[in-house]
Amino acid sequence: MISWETTEPEYLLGLEWSEAADGTPICYDDGAAYDSIRAKLTGRLTKAELEELETAYTTTRGYDIISTGYLLGPEIDTSTSVHVALLDLVVDGPTDSSINLYDVTISVAYGPLDAPPSGDISKALNGGVPYHMAHPTTLAYLLCDGDEYSVTAGRAVDRECRWYASGLSTQDAREAVQALRTIRGSQYAWYLTGIVEPWGPGVDPIAMIWIPSWQVVAESNLTWGIEMQLIRDTGTIPDPYFVMIGNDADMAGDDGSEMIGVL
């Protein structure tokens, strides 16, 4: 068992995002069967461990990881054997003059991923730090006399933010990732309360949102962070009793027992 020191997991979902002329995000979804994970691991290996790793890298390119923690993100427990594909291997060099240990960095791929349960993103969205961005809804022109002239551009999206949540337990991060993999290209009803203004001062935080991109970050052996791009839909007001999930427009939560997104 190799105790890999750091991991940088990256989820690659079977999604392709583009943008309509009015700024509305558009998602093309190939399905969860095409979801996979890439991860970059760093560790300090003995001669025997490095020999086994390099043998796999130069032949089959398949490798069984057994290590403490969650090296492939909060969904995959690597304390039992997990088979990955070795994409790259870099030996940074021996750690001392005796050349008994080597610092090594590997890039691996894991997939396909199992279809996720619905998950729960509320804890990741209940608290965090927003960095908002305002988009103009007009086209502006500077006149010869220095005055300005503007016309309505018909942009449907005027606000977005990068949302940074940290200090999540492995369980909370796992549920957030499962929720993100379930939401995919659909919208999420975000009922944020408190003093945080994710879209900027004076803008109602409650909104239907798209989440085109996100990343899970291993902060330590016990905690995780999630970074998300949140885009506000200015044309839809969320209903406090319903939220749309998946791609088939099914509605859930009319009695509150399965409500998603309501805090």
Task: Please tell me the predicted confidence (pLDDT) of residue 146.
Answer: 77
Task: Please tell me the predicted confidence (pLDDT) of residue 144.
Answer: 82
- What's the rounded mean pLDDT across residues 147-154? 73
Residue 240 pLDDT grade (very low, low, confident, very high; cuts 50, 70, 90): low
When the pLDDT of each residue in the chain is averaged and rounded to a whole number, the result is 87
- What's the rounded mean pLDDT across residues 193-218? 94
Which pTM does this prediction carry?
Answer: 0.84
pLDDT higher than 50, residue 13 = yes
Token couple for 52: 């086994």
Instruction: Reduce the DSSP state of residue 153 to 3 states and report it.
Output: coil
- What's the rounded mean pLDDT across residues 13-36? 92
- What's the rounded mean pLDDT across residues 167-182? 97
pLDDT in tens, 87-123: 999 998 787 778 889 999 999 999 999 988 999 999 9
CA atoms within 13 A on the CB side of 172: 18
CA pair distance 226, 122, nearest whole angstrom: 12
Residue 188's nearest CA partner among 210, 173, 205, 163 is 210
pLDDT in tens, 25-64: 999 999 999 999 999 999 999 999 999 999 999 999 999 9
253 neighbors 243 (Cβ within 8 angstroms): yes
Residue 190's nearest CA partner among 250, 132, 241, 125 is 125
Q: Could you tell me which residue, 46 or 146, shows the higher pLDDT?
A: 46
Q: Could you tell me which residue, 147 or 104, shows the higher pLDDT?
A: 104
Which fold would CATH assign to domain 1-115?
Elongation Factor Tu (Ef-tu); domain 3 (2.40.30)
Q: Could you tell me which residue, 150 or 257, shows the higher pLDDT?
A: 150
Long-range contacts of 43-48 (CB under 8 A, 24+ apart): 43/2, 43/3, 43/4, 43/5, 43/103, 43/104, 44/5, 44/95, 44/101, 44/102, 44/103, 44/104, 45/2, 45/101, 45/102, 45/104, 46/100, 46/101, 46/102, 47/100, 47/102
Task: Please tell me the predicted confidence (pLDDT) of residue 101.
Answer: 92
What is the amino acid identity at position 263? L
pLDDT higher than 60, residue 241 = no
CA pair distance 156, 208, nearest whole angstrom: 13
- Bridge partners of residue 65, in order along the sequence: 82
Backbone angles phi and psi of 133, in degrees to 5: -140, 130
CA pair distance 176, 224, nearest whole angstrom: 11
- What's the rounded mean pLDDT across residues 134-157? 77
User: DSSP string covering 101-147, please?
Assistant: EEEEEEEEEE-PPPPP-----HHHHHS-EEEEEE--SEEEEE-TTS-
Long-range contacts of 58-67 (CB under 8 A, 24+ apart): 61/85, 61/86, 62/86, 63/108, 65/2, 65/108, 66/1, 66/2, 67/1, 67/2, 67/3, 67/4
pLDDT higher than 50, residue 242 = no
Task: Please tell me the predicted confidence (pLDDT) of residue 203.
Answer: 93
Q: Could you tell me which residue, 107 or 135, shows the higher pLDDT?
A: 107
**Where do the structural domains in the chain lie, given as residue ranges?**
1-115, 116-252
CA atoms within 13 A on the CB side of 21: 2
Instruction: Give 66's DSSP letter.
Output: -
